[in-house]
Structure 1
Amino acid sequence: KWWEGYDPRLLYGIDLREYESVATAALSGWSPPKAGVFSRHLEYANWLAKQWALLMMDVTENYTPDFIYTDGTYEGPFTGRGTGTCYKCNAMQTVIADYYNRQLKTKGKIDGFSIVKFRHPTNGTVNTAEFDFPDSINASQPWIREAPVGDWFYASNFTYDSGSMIRFIIEAIARDGNVTLNIPLRPDGSIEDGCVEMLEKVGKWMKINGEAVYGSKAWKTLGEGEIINGKLKTLPGGGLGSKQANFRFDAQDIRFTLGKNGKLYAFMMNVPSAGQTVVVNSLADGKGYLASKIKSVKLLGYKDSIQWKMSSDGLQVTYPEYANLATAAVLCIAIND
């Protein structure tokens, strides 16, 4: 049987619904019970906390993860409150200390980070939230926006759309954030053909435009384009599906990043038509964002030079006829020092 060799405690033999509010919380979908510590099962809770910590440290020792992530909307697991209910102990602190100490021992420096998923300023960890984006640039602390393709678990008939993933990435990095995206695996660990195709398209786009993404940070303004209800038109929140795939941007919907090479990148959230003139209004003299003149403009993924000029409205770029780019075309703008 599949359970042979398992510790019986791994089979969820204890009914925790005897605690106040647990059953109600379960019916509500995800809200944690208010019971706090499961005081009538302290021995079991102690074992569970140790088991969790040992499993996490095993991963750190044998797989050297880039980061450690704990879900929830509180400071972490095993705090005795909120999503850290069940037991109060130092399991989380032990795991994170082990993670950083192993990095120091093997690499001589801290080359990773920890994520505790809650939504107020953090100290020593990276903040994260699901689905949507802040209305403006947020450079107050490192943060990540996360979303699943479809959902956090596998189901049939998900929408696999590379454009949704790419635009989700752009929306986050233009606001000085980072991105994690959940890819649905079948129960046997395999990936659907449509999902593979989607990832290959994202990889192809990143190969062309990665210099505008990796190591970048937000520029002086996150972007420009259509305003809806007083806010910049933005990719809808939620799991990536048909709503995001069918959401329409124009080439005049633009986002910015500043690359680690010091160059400015302008992401056109859709590919212009051949011969179309795109105007980057944020680069007009009257906006006050440019401290000096533009030296050169090129289109990533296009080997020839492109037509561009400055006007009172901003930077005017004529999209070439045979660029053959997909999803979001990116301008690389060099500015005189």
Structure 2
Amino acid sequence: MPYDGNLTLADGKGKWWEGLDPRYLYGINLREYETVAEAANSRWSPPKAGIFSGHLAYAEWYAKWWALRMMDAVDKYNPDFIYTDGTDQQPFSGSGTGTGYKCDAMQRVIADFYNKTLARRGKVDVFSIVKFRKQTNGTVNTCESGIPENIKTDQAWIAETPVGDWFYGPNFVYSSDAMIRYLLEIVGRDGSVGVSIPLRPDGSLDEGCVKMLKEVGQWMRVNGQGIYGSSAWRVLGEGKDGKLNVLPGGFIGGSQANHTFYSTDFRFTVGKDKALYAWCMTVPKPGETLKIVSLGTNSTVEKKKVTSVELLGVKGNKLEWKQEADGLRIVYPESAFLKTAVGFRIVCE
């Protein structure tokens, strides 16, 4: 059936949108390519003809228009990062589009972004992401909806996943516990976290989503000193019998919310203050003795002497702790009313 994508600039004569080119809203007519049906099944561009093979003039116009709009956004809003999604190492490379249009629009846009930032700020304290998953994709890489197996320091990276899905839907599971533990899994691996929050069609949030975000904010106010600006430690974490108990990957929902962690499950970060932060992935029972094996005097991970241990969120409460051969033992206090996961600030000499 005909749809708005068939309209041209001439069709607007006498209409409310006269003078506006529908090309700004829609792309080329894919029905012209015989292979488009099979391409739809594979989710990629037409494999034979190429999505731009008969529209190189349009492709050149589109690339230039895209670049000018990106540069205009940088001029007006001075962004901290530019993120482009896609199915290739960069838009406009021609790869994935058969005989598609090749140009340097992306390189020009990012160079413009960095040059203007340097002129404005005196330094380039911004970054760019060009998906997907190749080390050369921009200055920062991504890990979408997954959790790397171990610490990842080959390139700065952001783990990204949505709550429920990348778009709004009913009956999503809104769990601050799941989001906080996802955060700990990622920062312990030396990553940063980007979480997509589902907006209703009118731009509002579900009540459960609002509650979740407030609870995450409350947790971060208590524990943020070991999260913001942190880096990975020597090891990612530890678990019972030396086995790491890891949160399931994927979109944040029921499987993450219902995953069980134990008081033997820890993740580690090094804060901006150079202190070690040990994160118990659950809340221990009052009076329970915890053991961090990686901090034992006979540990192969860390040989330094522990000089102080502090429980984040509990002030004026001296912890009972002792560093022994097989681990650092900490007695969880009776009066700590903390939620989800607890952090210990540990100083060594």
Structure 2 match to 1:261: 273
What is the RMSD of the two structures over their aligned residues, measured on CA atoms? 2.3
Which residue of structure 1 aligns with residue 86 of structure 2?
72
> What is the TM-score of this pair, normalised by structure 1?
0.91
Q: 1:85 to 1:308 in 2, by over 3 A?
A: farther
- 2:190 equivalent in structure 1: 176
Is there any run of 5+ residues in structure 1 with no aligned partner, and where? none
Residue 320 of structure 2 corresponds to which residue in structure 1? 307
* Residue 317 of structure 1 pairs with residue 330 of structure 2: yes
Verify the 8 A CA contact 1:37 1:88 in the aligned structure 2.
no
The residue matched to 2:83 in structure 1 has which SS? strand
| Secondary structure of the structure 2 residue equivalent to 1:82 | coil
Q: Secondary structure at the match of 2:338?
A: coil
Compare 327-336 and 41-50 and name the one that shifted more.
41-50
Cα shift at 1:82:
2.7
CA 22–232 in structure 1, closer or farther in 2 if over 3 Å, else same: farther
CA distance in 1, matches of 2:118, 2:264: 47
Change (3 A) 1:152 1:298: same
Residue in 2 that maps onto 1:15: 29
Residue among 82, 93, 100 paired with 2:107 = 93
The 1:32–1:171 alpha-carbon spacing in structure 2 relative to 1, beyond 3 Å, is farther
Letter in 1 for 2:32: E
TM-score, length of structure 2 as denominator length: 0.88
* Cα deviation code 1:19-41 (max 9, x no counterpart): 3543223234x434435451211
Q: Within 2, Cα distance between the matches of 1:217 and 1:323? A: 27
CA distance in 1 between partners of 2:98 and 2:182 (Å)? 29
Secondary structure at the residue paired with 1:156?
Answer: coil
Deviations along 1:142-176, one digit per CA (max 9) or x if unpaired, are 11111011111111211111111111111111111
Structure-1 residue corresponding to 2:309 = 297
Residue in 2 aligned with 1:273?
285
SS in 2 for 1:114: strand
Q: Is the 8 A contact 2:52 2:97 kept in 1?
A: no
Q: Which runs of no fewer than 5 residues in structure 2 stay unpaired?
A: 1-15
- The count of residues paired between Structure 1 and Structure 2 equals 332
Partner of 1:147: 161
Q: Are the aligned partners of 2:130 and 2:138 in contact in 1 as well (CA < 8 Å)? A: no
1:130 to 126, 140, 144: 144
Q: CA deviation at 1:95?
A: 1.3
Q: Does the Cα contact within 8 Å between 2:45 and 2:51 map onto a contact in 1? A: no
User: Residue 330 of structure 1: CA displacement?
Assistant: 0.3
**CA drift at 1:276:** 1.1
Q: In terms of Rg, which structure is larger?
A: 2
* Kept in 2: contact 1:72–1:83 (CA 8 A): no
Q: Which amino acid aligns with 1:255?
A: R
Q: CA deviation at 1:123?
A: 7.1
Q: Which stretch shifts more, 129-138 or 251-260?
A: 129-138
- The aligned counterpart of 1:196 is 210
Deviation at 1:85, TM superposition (A): 8.4
Q: Distance in 2 between matches of 1:160 and 1:79?
A: 39
- Structure 2 counterpart SS, 1:286: coil
Contact in 1 for aligned 2:236/2:268 (Cα 8 Å): yes
Distance in 2 between residues matched to 1:280 and 1:202, nearest whole Å: 25
CA distance in 1, matches of 2:290, 2:98: 50
User: 1-side partners of 2:58 and 2:72: how far apart?
Assistant: 21
Take 2:335 and 2:130, find their aligned partners in 1: how far apart are those partners?
A: 46
For 2:183 and 2:28, how far apart are their aligned partners in 1?
A: 42
Alignment partner, residue 130 of structure 2: 116
Identity within the alignment, %: 56
Is residue 240 from structure 1 mapped to residue 252 from structure 2 by the alignment? Answer: yes
Letter in 2 for 1:232: L
> What CA deviation, in whole Å up to 9, does each residue of 1:52-83 have, x standing for no partner?
22232232222222211111342211111138
Distance 1:231 1:66 in 2: 39
What secondary structure does 2:55 align onto? helix
Question: Which whole-Å CA distance do the structure 1 matches of 2:348 and 2:60 have between them?
Answer: 59
Cα 1:317–1:83 change in 2 (3 A) is: farther
Residues 133 and 237, structure 1, Cα contact 8 Å, conserved in 2:
yes
Picking from 93, 101, 105, the partner of 2:119 is 105
- State the alpha-carbon separation in 2 of the partners of residues 20 and 217 from structure 1: 51
- Find out whether 1:163 has 2:177 as its counterpart: yes
Which letter does structure 2 place at the counterpart of 1:89? C
* Conserved? CA contact 1:150–1:158, under 8 Å: yes
The secondary structure found in structure 1 opposite 2:203 is: coil
Q: How far apart in 1 are the matches of 2:33 and 2:211?
A: 47
- For the residues of structure 2 that align with 1:85 and 1:282, how far apart are their CA atoms? 55
